[in-house]
A and B are shown apart, each in its own frame.
Chain A
Amino acid sequence: MTALFINSFTLICLLIALSRDRAKTKRALIIALKSFFNIFPTILLIIILIGLLLGFVPQSQISKIVGEQASFWGILVVAFLGAILHIPSLISFPLAAALLKSGATVTSVAVFITTLTMIGMVTLPLEVRELGKKMALLRNGISFLIAIIIGIIMGVIL
């Protein structure tokens, strides 16, 4: 159902693009094809890891770290992991879904995705160089707090 919606949305965008500019649309499709093959090995990799995670790691273990039994420290650890890890956000969603399925809470999953995408330790030096220390550190620091607040709110309402 969701897949149907996503594919129809893409189809509509594609048709609009085609009616506006054929050559540009062709270029977009070539880019799409290339990035598909670029990301495919990584996607397979993460799916295998998810399979192993769900098959071998007992739910009670996952739940202890990021589940109901997790303390505020658990959330902090997840937030920190998300901030330093450099995995493409595209593959973080299936991973998040797998964790959620095996007992992680909405809060820890939301915190993880949010710090993962918003904060980039790897790109921080570049951000400092381009935008200055003050702005870069403020943005990343406040994003860290925001991610935790968003996660807690989501845990309460979902």
Chain B
Amino acid sequence: MKDHIREKGNKRKGIRQDTVLLGATLIIMLILLSFFPEKQEAVTKALWKFFSEMILVLPAVMILMGLFSVFVPKEMVMKYLSKAAGIKAVFLGIIMGALPTGPLYVAFPLASALLKKGARISCIIAFLSAWACIKIPQEMVELQFLGPKFMATRLILTIIFVIMMGLSIERLIEWRDKNKRIL
């Protein structure tokens, strides 16, 4: 509970900091532009282009994040991952990591609880990596700014390599633990 309050306070402080920083950059920009009027056109053009591209998708992205945070609670992740077995577990790890929202530090305690419950290491690695870099709202922003080809290629490659990483870390840790027992 206390953590929650502190987090809220930090958040408010963070927003205030962001706003101050925004104001400062705005002033710097205005000063720069008044000294270099010939740059005005290029800067305002870029500003407007990126702003309009962002504002077209930002509300939708925020709604997706809200929906995922309400409809995919932590309990659901726990339920699915604690008893997943076989190679299916790795894929489930990716899906369960991609769906919920929230910063990465929310995922660590979840992952550690799952490991204690006996979840596969590969599944947990896949889960954490997917949580970090395969979020559906995030992929939407990537799609908007970098295009379908870039987004899809990076997504597919990331999934392939995350699976490989999960399996190899699992092998490595289990192999070391086994050797330790023999010695």
Contact = CB atoms under 8 A, between A and B. Distances in A.
Interface residues of B, number: 77
A6 B154 contact: no
Contacts of B50: 47, 50-51, 94, 97-98
Given A44-B22, A139-B129, A130 B153 contact: no
Contacts of A38: 11, 15
Given A118-B133, A146-B165, A2 B47 contact: no
Given A17-B71, A30-B66, A32-B63, A41 B18 contact: yes
A8 B21 CA distance: 34
B74 to A, nearest CB: 15
A78 B125 CA distance: 24
B165 A142 contact: yes
Contacts of A126: 105, 108
A110 B66 contact: no
A127 B146 contact: no
Contacts of A9: 60, 64, 140
A9 B148 CA distance: 15
Interface string A20-32: 1100110111111
Interface string B65-86: 1110111000000000000000
Interface string A129-158: 111001100110011001001100110011
A30 B65 CA distance: 11
Given A24-B71, A126-B105, A131-B111, A54 B42 contact: yes
Contacts of A39: 58, 62
A124 B169 CA distance: 17
Contacts of A25: 67, 70
A41 B15 contact: yes
Interface of A: 2-3, 5-7, 9-11, 13-14, 17, 20-21, 24-25, 27-33, 35-36, 38-39, 41-45, 47-52, 54-56, 89-90, 93-94, 96-98, 100, 106, 109-110, 113-114, 117-120, 123, 126-127, 129-131, 134-135, 138-139, 142-143, 146, 149-150, 153-154, 157-158
Interface of B: 11, 15, 18-19, 21-22, 25-26, 29, 32, 36, 39, 42-44, 46-47, 50-51, 53-54, 56-67, 69-71, 103-105, 108-109, 111-112, 115, 121, 124-125, 128-129, 132-133, 135, 137-138, 140-150, 153-154, 157-158, 161-162, 165, 168-169, 172-173, 176
5 contacts: A14-B63, A36-B62, A52-B32, A93-B138, A143-B165
The 3 A-B pairs at the shortest CB distance, nearest first, are namely: A32-B66, A55-B43, A117-B133
